[in-house]
Amino acid sequence: MITIIVLSTFVSIAFIVMAVYWLLFRPVSATAQRLHELDDARGGAVAASIEPNSMESLAARMAEPINRLVPPSAADVKKLQKKLMQAGFRSPSAPAIYRATQIGLMLILPGMVFLGYTFSAEPMSEAILPMIGAFATGFLKPRFILNRLVAKRKLRITWGLADALDLMVITMEAGLGLNAAMLKVCEELKTVHPDISKEFELANLEIRVGRERSEALRNLAERSGVEDLNSLVGMLIQADRFGTSIARAVRVYSDSLRTKRRQRAEQAAQKAAFKLLLPLGALLFPTMFIIILGPALLNISDMLGGGLTF
């Protein structure tokens, strides 16, 4: 029995190593090699994504067989792609890579538990619950991490939106149009608020290639998923449609957003006192009780003739 387990483990590891070697160092096709040579000759005319050794292409190659075995539905792919865009991952292969990572963890973690119980010579009946827990962890962990990334990015955009609007008001009142003001915000806030800068840059590029301004702004709100930015987009579309002053509308909205941000900061400060109750009650108060009441209890124990032991 031990010989069979050792042989099966060796064969599995050998196949895994061969698969990784094939993915990393497999020969490049003639077409890809020719495109790569043209890219070098023309100074970057071909996109860098066709390079055979890039991490994105490697992840896409690893995700391709899994997605063929377990093809997702169109609605799930669209929903997942929207959430990945809100987290900052805009690559077309991002949903496939996410699903491959999720399915891989769902297979690898129970396999590690199985191998651990096999090499420790413990009964397999005790490994059922840990394997189920590992399977659930592999399924839920990527989703939890993605939700955390989306929430953090939304928070960064929310806190930096007021600064972007202030700069937009200044540039528009100086005589620039909405598109030029958005481009100026991209340039000035690239290091301070890179998320907002990137979103405004993408919206400006969509307008440059011929897409309508209202559609580009709606795409901006959908990519970010921030409620304040969605309200701003609605206000800009209405001001542009009815011909009112966009600079004045942005100034009013910027003032209200400043007030809202201050109220959110005050709310977070008030919640901090309540959040401190749990660590104080769990860590600080028992220590204080031991320090204060410990000597008294020892004296009582001595007075009672050692009836109590500590």
Q: What is the CATH number of the domain that holds 261?
A: 1.20.81
- Please indicate, yes or no, if residue 249 is contained in any of the structural domains: yes
Whole-number Cα distances in Å, 309 to 244, 286, 297, 298: 82, 19, 10, 9
- Please indicate, yes or no, if residue 95 is contained in any of the structural domains: no
- Bigger pLDDT: 50 vs 194: 194
Distance of alpha carbon 251 from alpha carbon 169, whole angstroms = 6
* pLDDT at position 167: 87
Distance of alpha carbon 158 from alpha carbon 257, whole angstroms = 9
Residue 184: CA atoms inside 13 Å, Cβ hemisphere, count? 18
Q: Quote the domain boundaries for residue 164.
A: 155-273
- Please indicate, yes or no, if residue 133 is contained in any of the structural domains: no
The model's pLDDT over 44-79, given as tens digits with 9 standing for 90+, comes to: 433 333 344 455 565 566 656 656 655 666 677 788
* pLDDT at position 144: 92
- Please indicate, yes or no, if residue 102 is contained in any of the structural domains: no
| Whether the Cβ atoms of residue 181 and residue 172 lie closer than 8 Å to each other | yes
* pLDDT at position 52: 40
- Please indicate, yes or no, if residue 207 is contained in any of the structural domains: yes
Query: Confidence band (pLDDT; 50, 70, 90) for 148?
Result: very high
Residues 269 and 159 reside in one and the same domain: yes
- Please indicate, yes or no, if residue 180 is contained in any of the structural domains: yes
As a whole number, mean pLDDT of residues 14-29 equals 56
Report the domain count for the chain.
2
- Please indicate, yes or no, if residue 234 is contained in any of the structural domains: yes
The model's pLDDT over 224-265, given as tens digits with 9 standing for 90+, comes to: 888 888 888 888 888 878 877 888 888 888 888 888 888 888
- Please indicate, yes or no, if residue 197 is contained in any of the structural domains: yes
* CB atoms closer than 10 angstroms to residue 246: 18
